[in-house]
Amino acid sequence: MNCHELSRELIEGYVDLPPELKRQIDEHTRTCSRCRIEIQNTVATVRITERLGATGARREMIIRLHQRIIRVKRG
Amino acid sequence: MEDAELETRLLERAQAGDREAFWELAAPSVDPIYRLARRLMKTEEDAEDVVQEAFLKALDKIGEFQGKSRFNTWLHRIAVNQGLMKMRKRRSDVFSLDAPAKGEGGDGKAMDPVDFSDSALDELQSREAADVLETALEDLPIDLRTIVVMRDINRLSNDEVAQALELPLGAVKWRLHRARSILRDRLGEYFAERIRT
């Protein structure tokens, strides 16, 4: 694999790729710092985005929703 | 009991009118749906309204759910539709999720990237990076934002996102990659600025 074959899809989709394809890309990035940096930066971006999932709904809202689900009349 | 088997049993009970079974089925999706709604809507109040309306809509339509997708995926779809409806009523952020995204199908790599991967994942700096990302996420076009929230924050698969948004898988992947690229470049700008100062 070379820089030309390493498309945007493979860089931004790297975290989702099967191990064999990742291995082929890793072989290329061992000697290509530009592609390696792009992939490392993308992986870091995805990992930090995943951490934004730590937030959740307010407890009061969940209780109110539960009450409405139990009590609401079906239309 | 396997998750899928439990979901099927709860669904059968919910479709027979058992509200507690519906709640047991739906409750694990409250936080993900809230996270989605919060990033679709401009205010906390609107986001909470979208969550409430989405779950009540799901309760109303539970008899029509055929189990072709996971229940959580179906709820994401309903929540997106409820969010869109609310935006249209307010005539703000009116958009279509199935319209081609700007530049769809394009290519081209950024110039001279700065390696920020170690800094961004460092414990202290990752909090700052998360703030930068949250702002960058807010600035994304809504179709890209919706896909990032579903895929990278709520951890739906590409197939599930495609089901929820009724988009071809290729369009979901392209938009996800475009969004990740924009977010990565925003983080890159932030860390490049830090290095300079």
Q: Per the CB < 8 Å rule, is B34 touching A57?
A: yes
Cβ–Cβ pairs < 8 A, chains A and B: 135
Which of B56, B180, B187 lies at the smallest CB-CB distance from A68? B56
Is residue B117 within 8 A of residue A44, CB to CB? The reply is yes
Residue type, A36: R
Q: Each residue of A8-53: pLDDT tens digit?
A: 888 999 999 999 999 999 999 999 999 999 999 999 999 999 988 8
Q: State mean pLDDT over B105-120.
A: 69
Q: Each residue of B113-170: pLDDT tens digit?
A: 788 888 877 866 778 888 999 999 999 999 999 999 999 999 999 999 999 999 999 9
Q: Determine contact: B182 vs chain A, CB below 8 A.
A: no
DSSP B21-65: HHHHHHGGGHHHHHHHHHHHSSSHHHHHHHHHHHHHHHHHTGGG-
**Contacts A61 to B, Cβ<8 Å:** 34, 48, 51-52
Is residue B73 within 8 A of residue B160, CB to CB? The reply is yes
Q: Per the CB < 8 Å rule, is B59 touching A57?
A: no
Task: Tell me whether residue B168 is exposed, middle or buried, using C-beta atoms within 10 angstroms of its C-beta: 0 to 12, 13 to 18, 19 or more.
Answer: exposed
Contacts of A17 (CB under 8 A, 6+ apart): A10, A25
**Contacts B126 to A, Cβ<8 Å:** 48, 51
Looking at residue B159, its pLDDT comes to: 96
Q: Per the CB < 8 Å rule, is B30 touching A53?
A: no
Both tokens assigned to B178? 């475009």
Q: ipTM > 0.90? A: no
Does residue A75 register a pLDDT over 80?
A: no
Query: Residues 38..97 of B with a Cβ closer than 8 Å to A: which?
Result: 38, 48, 51-52, 55-56, 59-60
DSSP B99-158: SPPTTTT---PPSS----HHHHHSHHHHHHHHHHHHHHHHHS-HHHHHHHIIIIIS---H
Nearest CA in chain B to A15: B152
Does residue B110 register a pLDDT over 70?
A: no
Q: Determine contact: B109 vs chain A, CB below 8 A.
A: yes
Q: Determine contact: B101 vs chain A, CB below 8 A.
A: no
